[in-house]
Amino acid sequence: MQATKQHSNSKNKKRNVEVAIGDERLTVKEASELFNVNRNTIYSRLRRGQPAITNDEMNKLNRKNYYSLGMDRQYMSVSLFKKFIQCEASTMAYLNGEYVEFPNAAMLVGSYTHAAFESDEAFKEFIDKHNNVIFKKNGSKYADYAQADVMIESLKNDKFAMFAMEGEKEQIYTANVFGIDWKMKVDSINHERKLFTDLKTTQDLHKRYWSEKYDGWVSFIEKWDYLLQMAMYRKIIEANTGELYTPYIVAVSKEKIPNKAVIYFDESRFEFEYEYVQLKLERINQVKSGEVEPHACGKCDYCKSIKKLKEPIEVGELIYE
């Protein structure tokens, strides 16, 4: 059941409109962010005496609300799992509606590149929405987006790369895996060939990184847990189709002359990722349920924003802690 309440003594009545959704009382701004519904749409519905948020928007996962706070509260995802690994305190602050993490420049450029391969309509929609960060006042594109165009053209002119990305775009799947509900949205999935593909951009295809998780040098694939992502997507797709699909990553570098590759995975790599996820989920579930206090990493933007100094540190702590 939904109801509205408006404070008449406010200079700006619109800002103080509240919407009761279930047991929660939310401002229109909060409802908009929670369910990923445009504020003007909510105001328009209220004026017509309609529910501010539809049942589908509240309960059914779809492309419009996939990235909403409401759906992140209902489902685990690879990105949310990675957030917990990076900083439990920051992730819980996000899930409690206390902290909003805005996409950085690199994330927007990555989304721009993805949209180019989703559809012409999706690409145009992204450009229209982010026009001010893509284009300079003189009409030319900022350097990062101009470089992204070079990367996009490099892939579009490669028949094998485009062949690897053939299939249905941005398909959403859910499944209960390891005792909890997961959601995923795959870049491309080809049911005829029983494979799925994810597009990744990276600084350098062959750059290596030290990993504590793997206790050794790894590629960008392991560094950013893309292998874990492919493993979990494979598991979720199997739960929906009853078949094991083969994952691929189409990668393109951000170099002046882009490098590119279609990457596959030996199946022996997946088992470690499943064991790792199950091991970490035990702690994550305890944090989410309130059984244990979330650990603060002390280094992320959220931790820095709430940091209060209490005592000095020894210089060695700057690099070893």
| Angstrom distance (rounded) from CA 239 to CA 89 | 31
| Angstrom distance (rounded) from CA 82 to CA 32 | 25
For 1-59, the pLDDT digits (tens) are 454 444 444 445 555 678 877 667 788 887 887 777 888 888 888 888 888 888 777 77
Maximal C-alpha separation, the chain: 65
Q: Is 258 found in the same domain as 171?
A: yes
Q: Is 138 found in the same domain as 117?
A: yes
Q: Is 109 found in the same domain as 143?
A: yes
| Angstrom distance (rounded) from CA 314 to CA 148 | 43
Sign of CA dihedral 198, 202, 205, 209: negative
Q: Is 144 found in the same domain as 242?
A: no
Q: Is 254 found in the same domain as 149?
A: no
Residue 179: inside a domain, yes or no? Answer: yes
Residue 227: inside a domain, yes or no? Answer: yes
Q: Is 118 found in the same domain as 17?
A: no
Residue 302: inside a domain, yes or no? Answer: no
Residue range of the domain that includes 176: 76-86+159-286
Residue 214: inside a domain, yes or no? Answer: yes
H or E segment at 47? helix 39-47
Q: What is the pTM of this model?
A: 0.82
Q: Is 123 found in the same domain as 14?
A: no
H or E segment at 57? helix 55-59
Q: Is 174 found in the same domain as 258?
A: yes
Reduce the secondary structure of 164-201 to three states and give it as a string.
Answer: HCCCEEEEEEEEEECCEEEEEEEEEEECCCCEEEEEEE
Residue 66: inside a domain, yes or no? Answer: no
Residue 246: inside a domain, yes or no? Answer: yes
Q: Is 218 found in the same domain as 163?
A: yes
pLDDT tens over the chain, length 321 residues = 454 444 444 445 555 678 877 667 788 887 887 777 888 888 888 888 888 888 777 777 888 889 889 999 999 999 999 999 999 999 999 999 999 888 888 889 999 999 999 999 999 999 999 999 999 999 999 999 999 999 999 999 999 999 999 999 999 999 999 999 999 999 999 999 999 999 999 999 999 999 999 999 999 999 999 999 999 999 999 999 999 999 999 999 999 999 999 999 999 999 999 999 999 999 999 999 999 999 999 999 999 999 999 999 999 988 876
Q: Is 195 found in the same domain as 80?
A: yes
Sign of CA dihedral 72, 73, 74, 77: positive
Residues listed for the chain? 321
Q: Is 44 found in the same domain as 189?
A: no
Could you give the number of structural domains in the chain?
A: 3
